A = this chain, B = another copy of it.
Amino acid sequence: MRIEDKEGKYSIILDSAVKVFAEFGVENSTVSKIAAKAGVADGTIYLYFKNKKDILIKFADDRGEKIFRKFEEAVNSGKDSKEKLFNLIYSHIENFSKNKDLAVVYQCELSKIHGCQPKIRELSIRYRQMLKDIFLLGQSEGRVSKNVDLDFIKDLVSGSINEIINTYIVKENKNIDILEASGKLVDFIFKGLG
């Protein structure tokens, strides 16, 4: 059996777990359900994960890190602060729209699991630092007033984006015009910061 098979089964279980978590909630998800969804025996789970909670921790670590890289790429590909913010928001909404199970687990389930909190907290801090950097750039571009408290503002913006995800993807499960939503949000923010 090749190494990629191990990675493969590890991934299959992780993906299955997310689907199960999203459908039933973490607490109503049993190891058996995850194993069944992954097409492996219950015991096999324990060859790849220490225990049930470890699945969530690994999910937060792996999938969280992966999606965060995409956010960073999106930001890097923007030529100025406004485009960077737009790209970030667009990437965020798009990625979570494409994978609603992941969105549900991220927004609702993960934050409560004790072992997951370090990674979640780290990602949250990095996310907000990204926002702060964008707005610092905006200040140097003259787009953002030097009077605003960026530490405070980055939280507001982070909350706004979160709410969009929560409202349109997690709760309402609506199809959203990502381009339009991202545009409106960026306009609102930059106007507020001008």
| Interface residues of A, Cβ cutoff 8 Å to B | 25, 27, 108-109, 111-112, 114, 121, 148-149, 152-153, 155-164, 166-167, 171, 181, 184-185, 188-189, 191-194
Q: A163-B158, A164-B159 are in contact. Are A109 and B108 (CB under 8 A)?
A: no
Q: Is the interface of A mostly helix, strand, loop or mixed?
A: helix
Q: Is the CB of B184 within 8 A of A149?
A: yes
Copies of this chain in its oligomeric complex: 4
Chain B neighbourhood of A157, CB < 8 A: 160
Selected A-B contacts with CB under 8 Å, 20 pairs: A25-B112, A108-B111, A148-B188, A152-B184, A155-B163, A155-B164, A156-B188, A158-B163, A159-B159, A159-B160, A159-B161, A159-B163, A159-B164, A159-B167, A160-B160, A160-B163, A188-B192, A188-B193, A191-B193, A191-B194
Residues of B contacting A166 in the complex (Cβ-Cβ under 8 angstroms): 159
